[in-house]
Amino acid sequence: QVQLVESGGGLVQAGGSLRLSCAASGRTFSGYTMAWFRQAPGKEREFVAAIRWSGGITYYADSIKGRFTISRDNAKNTVYLQMNSLKPEDTAVYYCAARVGLYRDSRLRYDYWGQGTQVTVSS
Over residues 71-117, the pLDDT tens digits come to: 999 899 999 999 999 999 999 999 999 999 999 999 999 999 999 99
pLDDT digits 0-9 by tens, 21-46: 999 999 889 899 999 999 999 999 99
The rounded percent of the chain whose pLDDT value lies above 70 is 100
> How does DSSP assign 10-73, residue by residue?
EEEETT--EEEEEEEESS--TTEEEEEEEE-TTS--EEEEEEETTT--EEE-TTTTTTEEEEEE
pLDDT digits 0-9 by tens, 43-71: 999 999 999 999 899 999 999 999 999 99
